[in-house]
Structure 1
Amino acid sequence: MILTVTPNPSLDRTYELPGLTRGAVLRAAADRVDPGGKGVNVSRAVAAAGHRTAAVVPLGGPEGALLARLLGEHGIEVAGVPVAGSTRVNVTLVEADATLTKVNAAGPELTAGEAEALLETVRVRSASADWVACCGSLPRGLPPEWYAELVARAHRAGARIALDTSGPALDAALRERPDVVKPNAEELAEAVGRPLATVGDAVRAAEELLDRGARAVLASLGADGQLLVGGSGTYFGGARVVAVRSNVGAGDASLAGFLAAGGVGEAALAAAVAHGAAAVRLPGSQMPTPADLDPASVTTTADIPLDRPLREPAR
């Protein structure tokens, strides 16, 4: 059972366009609407893999009602917390060459009572969860320490915590020792306050997060692959991807694969890489099913290429 927490969920509308011209009236070649938000995407990928998952989400307005309905259609149990504001709607424009343009709404501002209701819902649900995945930025009204309190309460309930956030919220939560944190390269560079130019730079940055409280770090390095650093060892993995259709939600799919495979060690990293590679081959924020995975394309190793330059250095 994987419980996910998305404090600022969304409806994600994706339009595929031949090209993007400012000021023009454009006709979409295809469009879709998906339940969105990083934790929601993790639940969608877990459900697509055939595992049980529940999503803790604040829900407001007709947008919130539609989000709840779509989650149910994906086989996700909804642990909704009513809020006064309306659930946000994000728009992604995908051009024929796979260039993405995203417009993300701010979302509602939560009251102190709504923030506490979310925490208590997570605490109660954590007792029956193997993992709690806490994902995404915090909405207006929630202080950076909110995730730290969530981690503390879920730990007291006996659950393991995966945290995917950044900035002050990550800094504050590290003191509560989340079981795994999942930054991308830019977030990892931000967390340590220096650029990352090589795989070795990323390893040393991940080790610094361990020193600050994280028990393991699963770092997405974009086209360069993924890195796992923790008590089970240090491993590096990658996969062949011929064509990228959309990278929206790929990191969330990776985290879902990692947790569904146990969340520890090289085999879990391989599952993370396979899920992330499958996600970028799919349109919009569609999550991969087992049929979309290509485990044979995945390679993992404990022999880390420390001097390998990152194709997309993080600054």
Structure 2
Amino acid sequence: MIVTVTPNPSLDRSVALGRLERGAVHRSERSLLEPGGKGVNVARALAAADHGAVALLPTGGAEGSRLAELLAPESVSVVEVPIEGTTRTNLTLLEPDGTTTKINEPGSALNRGELEGLRSRLGELAARADWVVACGSLPAGCPEDLHAALVRTSRSAGTRVAVDASGGPLAEARWARPDLIAPNLSELAELVGRELSDLAEVVSAAREVRRDDVGAVLVTLGERGAVLVEARGCWHANSRARWVRSTVGAGDAALAGFLLAGADGPEALRHAVAYGTAGVELSGSRMPSPGDLRLESVRVTEVDETRHLDGVTL
């Protein structure tokens, strides 16, 4: 079983437009309401592969109830922590060429009792889990070290833990010694405090993070694939999407694929990229299932750190 924790879940409404024009009145071609939040998406992808997934969520108001209702048909088990506020709603605008514009609400603040409830329920679930995945942004006013606290709670239960976050929350979680972090390129650059312009620099940055007792670093690079840096070595994998329908949730799908394939080594990286590629080929924030994968299209190579990778720009 894998438990995902999403402190700031959402209802995600995707609206398809012919063309987005600032200041104009638009008529949508279609719209879709889906459960949202990085950890929610990871759980959805796990469930689509018939892997046991539990989504731990603070929920409130009619929106929170609707979120749980939407997850039920996808076979995601939901454990709710009731909050006084309401679950946020995000809006995604989709254009025919694959351009995605997101408008995210900040989310309702969690009070001290609600935060303690979230950590307490995680402690109960982590004791029975193979992995805990702490994901996403934090609600307004939430302490930046929440993901770090979730890591410590999970490790105290003897459970492996991954973090997929950004900014201050990721920086704090780094020092809690997670088994895996899964930043994208810009998030890794922010974490190490410098621009990363080629593959060699990405590997160097990931190695730097691993020296702080982070077990492994999975870096998603968008259309350029992903890099895995762990104790046994480092690899780069990429695959070309046949078309791009939506980039929403592609990184979440990649993390789910990595975990489903054992979270270790080049084959897990291959699955991560296959899942991420399949994700962008699907509309809205729909998560791919095994039948959507094209594993044969993913090229995995070991990164030679002894030579500068000229021409491999990011």
8 A contact 1:245–1:280 mirrored in 2: yes
**Which residue of structure 1 aligns with residue 176 of structure 2?**
176
SS at match of 1:176: coil
CA–CA distance in structure 1, aligned partners of residues 139 and 311 of structure 2 = 35
8 A contact 2:97–2:244 mirrored in 1: no
What's the CA shift string for 1:103-131, capped at 9, x where partnerless? 10011011011011001111110011111
**Which residue of structure 1 aligns with residue 164 of structure 2?**
164
8 A contact 1:41–1:287 mirrored in 2: yes
Name the aligned partner's letter for residue 168 of structure 1: G
Q: Verify: 1:127 aligned to 2:123, yes or no.
A: no
Name the aligned partner's letter for residue 173 of structure 2: A
8 A contact 1:15–1:32 mirrored in 2: yes
SS at match of 1:177: coil
8 A contact 2:223–2:240 mirrored in 1: no
Name the aligned partner's letter for residue 75 of structure 1: S
CA–CA distance in structure 1, aligned partners of residues 212 and 240 of structure 2 = 33
Q: Verify: 1:307 aligned to 2:309, yes or no.
A: yes
**Which residue of structure 2 aligns with residue 247 of structure 1?**
247
SS at match of 2:15: strand
Name the aligned partner's letter for residue 53 of structure 2: T
CA–CA distance in structure 1, aligned partners of residues 176 and 213 of structure 2 = 7
CA–CA distance in structure 2, aligned partners of residues 186 and 171 of structure 1 = 13
**Which residue of structure 1 aligns with residue 49 of structure 2?**
49
What's the CA shift string for 1:274-302, capped at 9, x where partnerless? 00000000111110011111011011111
Name the aligned partner's letter for residue 193 of structure 1: G
**Which residue of structure 2 aligns with residue 24 of structure 1?**
24
What's the CA shift string for 1:118-145, capped at 9, x where partnerless? 0111111001111111100111232111
Deviates most, 132-141 or 104-113: 132-141
**Which residue of structure 1 aligns with residue 224 of structure 2?**
224
**Which residue of structure 1 aligns with residue 278 of structure 2?**
278
Name the aligned partner's letter for residue 19 of structure 1: R
Task: Please list every run of 5 or more consecutive structure 2 residues that lacks an aligned counterpart in the other structure.
Answer: none
Deviation at 1:147, TM superposition (A): 1.3
Task: Please list every run of 5 or more consecutive structure 1 residues that lacks an aligned counterpart in the other structure.
Answer: none
What's the CA shift string for 1:16-41, capped at 9, x where partnerless? 11111233332211211110000000
CA–CA distance in structure 1, aligned partners of residues 204 and 304 of structure 2 = 12
Deviation at 1:303, TM superposition (A): 3.6
Please list, as runs of the form range in 1=range in 2, the aligned pairs for 1:52-201 lying within 5 A after superposition.
52-201=52-201
8 A contact 1:131–1:159 mirrored in 2: yes
CA–CA distance in structure 1, aligned partners of residues 16 and 146 of structure 2 = 36
8 A contact 1:197–1:309 mirrored in 2: no
TM-score by length of 2: 0.96
CA–CA distance in structure 1, aligned partners of residues 27 and 16 of structure 2 = 9
**Which residue of structure 2 aligns with residue 261 of structure 1?**
261
TM-score by length of 1: 0.96
Deviation at 1:99, TM superposition (A): 1.2
Deviation at 1:188, TM superposition (A): 0.6
Deviates most, 22-31 or 256-265: 22-31
Deviation at 1:308, TM superposition (A): 4.7
What's the CA shift string for 1:138-183, capped at 9, x where partnerless? 1123211111111111111111001011222122212221000001
**Which residue of structure 2 aligns with residue 214 of structure 1?**
214
CA–CA distance in structure 2, aligned partners of residues 239 and 146 of structure 1 = 35
Identity %: 48
Pairwise CA RMSD of aligned residues?
1.3
SS at match of 2:197: strand
8 A contact 1:236–1:300 mirrored in 2: yes
Deviation at 1:223, TM superposition (A): 1.4
CA–CA distance in structure 2, aligned partners of residues 59 and 3 of structure 1 = 16
CA–CA distance in structure 1, aligned partners of residues 250 and 165 of structure 2 = 15
8 A contact 1:167–1:187 mirrored in 2: yes
Deviation at 1:74, TM superposition (A): 1.0
SS at match of 1:196: coil
Deviates most, 21-30 or 210-219: 21-30
8 A contact 1:13–1:92 mirrored in 2: yes
Structure 1: 4+ residue segments shifted above 6 A = none
CA–CA distance in structure 2, aligned partners of residues 49 and 309 of structure 1 = 37
Number of residue pairs matched?
312
8 A contact 2:14–2:32 mirrored in 1: yes
CA–CA distance in structure 2, aligned partners of residues 105 and 33 of structure 1 = 15
> Alpha carbons of 1:143 and 1:309: their partners in 2 closer, same or farther (altered >3 Å)?
farther
